Amino acid sequence: MANYVVAGATGRVGSVVARELLSRRASVRVIVRSDQAATAWTKRGASVAMGSLHDEAFLATLFRGAQAAFVLLPENVDPTNFHGARRRMADAIARAHLSAPVCLSHS
């Protein structure tokens, strides 16, 4: 069975992705930032990782063993270094060597 990681699972897009994968009985790990979100996703059948897309070590550990990941880069990055912050997140995701990364960004 494929292992998927979904970032932004509490948002509009990521939540749909995570719910759809779970409905197909996929193994899904979601990234959340609050205990409330962790509890909700655990009840839905996902495994939960609490952390930040800014934490490269967290991402490296999280993506280990995953076959695919869906990441919608957050809009609340450092406004003084907007592109640099997003570049670091994208680079950390690329270094995970996932077979199927899906990375979206918006501003």
At 7, which helix (H) or strand (E)? strand 3-7
Mean pLDDT by 10 residues, the chain (107 residues): 85 94 96 94 96 85 88 72 77 80 69
pTM greater than the 0.85 cutoff: no
pLDDT number for residue 105: 65
Measured between alpha carbons, how far is 69 from 92 in angstroms, rounded to an integer?
Answer: 12
**What's the CATH number for 3-104?**
3.40.50.720
Residue 67 pLDDT: 86
**Residue type at 62 in one-letter notation:** L
Contacts 24+ apart (CB under 8 A), 102-105: 102/68, 102/69, 102/70, 102/71, 103/71, 103/72, 103/73, 104/13, 104/71, 104/72, 104/73, 105/72, 105/73
Predicted local distance difference test score (pLDDT) of residue 88: 79
